[in-house]
């Protein structure tokens, strides 16, 4: 047993001498002086000795522990003293910590949701992999429509595709809920587009829908005017241009007065004073019939807008690809 104590003392001294930093020193303490270390193992072997030898062995192990602890603390103090005053400048500011934050598109989406929910709209979501029925057929889009071509839409198999807009969520919602209802559907959508400064094969949209008794185009205009004024300022103006969408009739493109020149004309609005924001219109009666809502009793309006488009205007970003390149120099500005 005495030979075992001497071997442990020698091994501990060699390991302690080799420890040159606090990490190595902690490992030495764990191996020899820890709760499951070598010394604790020696105490466990005491029961194997004859009863008359146990007191002497216990005293020897306790003395060894005292010597090892004294040597350990001396080494610890020596390491601390070896760190010069120049190595750690206590007056120097600590390193800057970069905390995470919401992506700029998520921030804009949250602002959009906040405005519409304050106006009585609910938020609904749906699958990004859709069927042609929900993405086109239920929305009154005929089979010959250009949007259904492979050059415009991304098909998977068995009649499934990546949704081209969040309007399918409107169909799913109307199938589950009866009027009156007001809802928006934010989310990612996909088109067969070549990426450039203003186009991306994946982007984000918010589609809105309201169905009830006696809803008119005037309410649609008032809703969108209030929304854009809350986002861009109370002096924002709105105009509607006649257009065609399969799921609304009548349909209109929505323009807002340029947020940069306030309608005076600039490079961004191409001297027109207006910026195109999205589509809108009264829900086509055929769409209401498809979800078993009587168009003779109810009317509705719908609208859509691109979140990237809103973010580019709010933050002065001129390339949509910046939102998806994950460049921290860009993202940390928000």
Is 206's pLDDT higher than 70? yes
Distance CA 246, CA 150 (A): 19
5-59 residue pLDDT tens: 788 888 888 888 888 888 888 888 888 788 778 878 877 777 777 878 778 877 8
pLDDT averaged over every residue in the chain:
89
Asked if the bond preceding 300 is cis, omega within 30° of 0, the reply is: no
Is 2.40.50.100 the CATH number for 104-331?
no
Residues 6+ apart with CB under 8 A from 244: 251
Q: By the 8 A CB rule, do 256 and 238 touch?
A: yes
Domain boundaries, the chain: 2-82, 104-331
Give yes or no for a contact between 205 and 306, defined as CB atoms under 8 angstroms apart: yes
Write the pLDDT tens digit of every residue in 207-266: 999 999 999 999 999 999 999 999 999 999 999 999 999 999 999 999 999 888 877 888
Q: If residue 250 lies in a helix (H) or strand (E), which one and from where to where?
A: strand 248-257
Task: Say if residue 85's pLDDT is above 60.
Answer: no
Nearest to 16 by CA among 1, 38, 41, 36: 38
By three-state DSSP, how is residue 310 classified?
helix
* C-alpha dist (Å) from residue 195 to 123, 146, 192: 29, 20, 9
113-141, pLDDT tens digit by residue? 999 999 999 999 999 999 999 999 999 99
- Phi-psi region at 38: left, alpha or beta (left = phi > 0; alpha = psi -120 to 50): alpha
Q: How many residues does the chain have?
A: 334
- Tokens 């009793």 correspond to what residue? 297
């Amino acid at each position: 047993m005495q030979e075992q104590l001497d071997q442990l003392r020698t091994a501990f001294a060699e390991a302690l001498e080799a420890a040159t930093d606090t990490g190595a020193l902690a490992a030495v303490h764990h191996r020899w002086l820890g709760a499951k270390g070598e010394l604790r193992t020696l105490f466990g072997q005491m029961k194997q000795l004859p009863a008359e030898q146990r007191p002497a062995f216990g005293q020897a192990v306790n003395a060894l522990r005292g010597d090892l602890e004294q040597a350990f603390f001396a080494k610890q103090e020596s390491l601390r003293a070896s760190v010069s005053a120049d190595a750690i400048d206590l007056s120097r500011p600590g390193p800057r910590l970069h905390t995470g934050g919401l992506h700029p598109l998520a921030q804009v989406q949250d602002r959009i949701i906040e405005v519409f929910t304050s106006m009585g709209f609910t938020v609904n979501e749906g699958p990004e992999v859709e069927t042609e029925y929900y993405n086109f057929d239920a929305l009154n889009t005929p089979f010959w429509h250009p949007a259904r071509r492979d050059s415009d839409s991304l098909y998977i198999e068995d009649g499934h595709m990546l949704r081209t807009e969040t309007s399918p969520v409107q169909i799913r919602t109307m199938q589950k809920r009866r009027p009156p209802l007001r809802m928006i559907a934010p989310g990612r959508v996909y088109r067969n587009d070549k990426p450039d400064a203003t186009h991306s094969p994946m982007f984000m949209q918010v589609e809105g829908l309201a169905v009830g008794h006696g809803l008119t185009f005037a309410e649609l205009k008032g809703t969108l005017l209030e929304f854009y004024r809350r986002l861009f300022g109370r002096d924002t103006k709105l105009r509607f241009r006649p257009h065609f969408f399969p799921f609304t009739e009548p349909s209109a493109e929505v323009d807002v007065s340029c947020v940069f020149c306030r309608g005076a004309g600039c490079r961004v609005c191409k001297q027109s004073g207006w910026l195109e924001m999205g589509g809108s219109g009264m829900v086509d009666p055929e769409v209401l019939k498809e979800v078993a809502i009587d168009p003779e009793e109810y009317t509705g309006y719908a609208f859509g807008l691109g979140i990237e488009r809103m973010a580019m205007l709010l933050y002065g970003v001129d390339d949509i690809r910046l939102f998806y390149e994950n460049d921290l120099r860009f993202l940390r500005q928000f």
